[in-house]
A and B are shown apart, each in its own frame.
Chain A
Amino acid sequence: MSGVFSPSRAKIKERTLRTDKWWLQPAITFGVLFSFVIYATFRAFENKYYFAEPLISPFYSPCLSASCEPGTALAIFGQPFNNQYFGIGISPALFILIFPLGFRMTCYYYRKAYYRAFWLSPPACAVAEPHTKYTGETRAPLILQNSHRWFFYAGLVFNLILTWDTILAFRNAEKEWGHMSVGTLVFLFSTTMLWLYSLSCHTCRHTLGGRLKHFSKHPVRYKAWTFVSALNHKHPTFAWISLFGVAGADIYVRAVASGAITNFYFF
């Protein structure tokens, strides 16, 4: 017997004596993250309804595969990938989703969320976890969480691409500038939230100034650090809202592309 049942500890048979609903938070986290994963997987393999001029789903942007619908290419990347490898058809989403996925998987906040909700390590504070052994993030695979900063940089590139997609959304279906639709608003919201999520990231905070020993010698970086620290307080909120934002943008594009709704233009 280990943990709270170790011989030297007070003999109490309950795993926890908490009387509040400690299981609620992990249960909600589990439900929401699990639904997102299911939906994202479905969409990644669906391989259609991701483009409705001028809107491209964030799950498929930049569309790098030769099989992408015409009009989805980004000039600087082109479409270098094939749609078939080893005789297997590959959805264009699969070439890019690894980056945003890796960014969120290694995020300090999401780590907390899924270690608690999926791995029950621990399920909640002062509730004994079910595992007999625990080594934290000291070994493979979890030591790879230390790669978060590389995914952060990749995430910035994606933010730029999605910002460009948002700018393109100020056109109409005939590619004429100066228009605005419900889709434009959906994209504006989603992209803004993604930027806030990235800017409030712990790695961002560290890079901008956190690693310094003497703030007084770096007044500009100190200002930047102070600003990002304030955003960093809300990092979990931005993590959730941006997740819903991206999913919402994809759902919207899917609905328009599949003909379920029409993208309403304000002007």
Chain B
Amino acid sequence: MARMLKLRIWRGDSNDGALQDVQVEVNEGEVVLDVIHRVQATQMGDLAVRWNCKAGKCGSCSMEINGKPRLACMTQVAAYGEEETITVTPLRAFPVIKDLVTDVSFNYKKAMEIPAYAHPDELAPGEARMEQIDVERSQEFRKCIECFLCQDTCHVIRDHEENKKSFAGPRFFIRIAELDMHPLDTLRNRKKTAQEEHGLGMCNITKCCTEVCPEHIRITDNAIIPMKERVVDIKYDPARWLGSKIRKREGIV
């Protein structure tokens, strides 16, 4: 059954902008992206919004809905009260381009700063063999759809623009963890650089990244905290450091 929905949409660009009220028809089962498209089709022809798959798999439609970082295509209108006004704004951690579209290139720069997987020299491509239990942990992190909601909500950069230069963010901590836990990756300094170059120590494990991840990746528990423990192994644990000098142990590199 169709009804009218009260919507507030942020419109503007990097110079100025404001929330604008609109009323729009909504049908049963529709998601927020549907009603935004209807607004675009019927009332605001020049409304800018980024989207692609409408299936929660491309990570394009990230925005903030009633103040929470979410995928618009995975957010049911019915999840809100019938009388409630739904407020949609662009991501508030990144520079805005126009309306609901932000410039997320920060994340691509950070991605380039993480060294890629390093294959063992002695193994030709195609010869690699791994056991499932050895790759399982890394596989969880491969579910990432790069929506950057975790990056957007992380207070380290959301609330402190100046930290952007020294902080890679949760999406890239799972990337580092994925590679550090990878059974064949041969690059040996990932723990050290995680702490010294990518800002792992800036994270105070307050778990907002985990709260917003649409893929339910347990970013903090399974990637960040294990990486912090690995960093302690090499940097802050004299007993293990000594042990690693006497006898080469797995995990200490």
Q: Which residues of A contact B (CB under 8 A)?
A: 2-4, 6-12, 14, 16-20, 108, 111-112, 115-116, 121-122, 125-129, 131, 133-138, 142-143, 146-149, 202-203, 205-206, 210-217, 222, 232-233
| B215 close to A (CB within 8 Å) | no
Contact residues in A for B183 (Cβ distance below 8 Å): 213-214, 216
Q: Which of B89, B202, B229, B231 has a CB less than 8 Å from the CB of A135?
A: B202
The answer to whether A3 and B159 touch (CB under 8 A), given A11-B17, A17-B89, A211-B229, is: yes
Q: List 29 A-B contacts (CB under 8 A).
A: A3-B158, A3-B160, A10-B89, A10-B102, A11-B16, A17-B66, A17-B89, A18-B68, A20-B66, A115-B204, A125-B212, A126-B67, A126-B153, A126-B208, A134-B155, A134-B156, A134-B159, A136-B156, A136-B202, A137-B201, A138-B202, A146-B235, A146-B236, A149-B232, A211-B230, A211-B250, A214-B183, A214-B250, A215-B134
The answer to whether A8 and B14 touch (CB under 8 A), given A125-B212, A126-B158, is: yes
Contact A9 B208 (CB under 8 A): no
Contact residues in A for B87 (Cβ distance below 8 Å): 17, 19
Contact B204 A136 (CB under 8 A): yes
In the assembled complex, the Cα of A146 lies from the Cα of B19 at a distance in Å of 44
- Shortest CB distance B84–A (Å): 8
Contact B233 A9 (CB under 8 A): no
Contact residues in A for B69 (Cβ distance below 8 Å): 125-126
In the assembled complex, the Cα of A136 lies from the Cα of B229 at a distance in Å of 16
Q: Which of A12, A116, A147, A206 has a CB less than 8 Å from the CB of B226?
A: A206
In the assembled complex, the Cα of A203 lies from the Cα of B87 at a distance in Å of 41
The answer to whether A222 and B206 touch (CB under 8 A), given A4-B93, A211-B230, A214-B250, is: no
In the assembled complex, the Cα of A205 lies from the Cα of B180 at a distance in Å of 17
In the assembled complex, the Cα of A136 lies from the Cα of B91 at a distance in Å of 23
Question: 8 Å CB contacts to A: which residues of B179-218?
Answer: 181-183, 199, 201-208, 211-212
Contact residues in A for B51 (Cβ distance below 8 Å): none
Contact residues in B for A116 (Cβ distance below 8 Å): 206
In the assembled complex, the Cα of A214 lies from the Cα of B181 at a distance in Å of 8
Q: Which residues of B contact A (CB under 8 A)?
A: 10, 12, 14, 16-19, 64, 66-69, 84, 87, 89-90, 92-96, 102, 131, 133-134, 136, 153, 155-156, 158-163, 181-183, 199, 201-208, 211-212, 221, 225-226, 228-233, 235-237, 250-251
Contact residues in A for B230 (Cβ distance below 8 Å): 206, 211
Q: Which of A20, A121, A126, A211 has a CB less than 8 Å from the CB of B233?
A: A211
Contact A147 B236 (CB under 8 A): yes
In the assembled complex, the Cα of A4 lies from the Cα of B96 at a distance in Å of 11
Contact residues in A for B10 (Cβ distance below 8 Å): 10, 12
The answer to whether A128 and B159 touch (CB under 8 A), given A12-B10, A211-B229, is: yes
- Shortest CB distance A264–B (Å): 42
In the assembled complex, the Cα of A232 lies from the Cα of B222 at a distance in Å of 10
Further 11 A-B residue pairs, CB within 8 A, beyond A10-B92, A12-B92, A121-B204: A2-B160, A19-B67, A108-B225, A122-B206, A126-B69, A126-B92, A126-B158, A210-B229, A212-B250, A213-B134, A215-B133
Nearest CB in chain B to that of A209: its residue: B251
- Shortest CB distance B160–A (Å): 5
Contact residues in A for B133 (Cβ distance below 8 Å): 215-216, 222
- Shortest CB distance B85–A (Å): 9
Shortest Cβ-Cβ A-B pairs, 7 listed = A17-B67, A18-B67, A136-B202, A125-B208, A8-B95, A3-B159, A206-B229
- Shortest CB distance B141–A (Å): 15
The answer to whether A9 and B159 touch (CB under 8 A), given A125-B68, A211-B233, A215-B134, is: no
Contact B156 A4 (CB under 8 A): no
In the assembled complex, the Cα of A213 lies from the Cα of B133 at a distance in Å of 10
Q: Which of B90, B131, B159 has a CB less than 8 Å from the CB of A10?
A: B90
Q: Which of A3, A14, A16, A232 has a CB less than 8 Å from the CB of B161?
A: A3
B17, B161, B182, B226 — most chain A CB neighbours (10 Å): B161
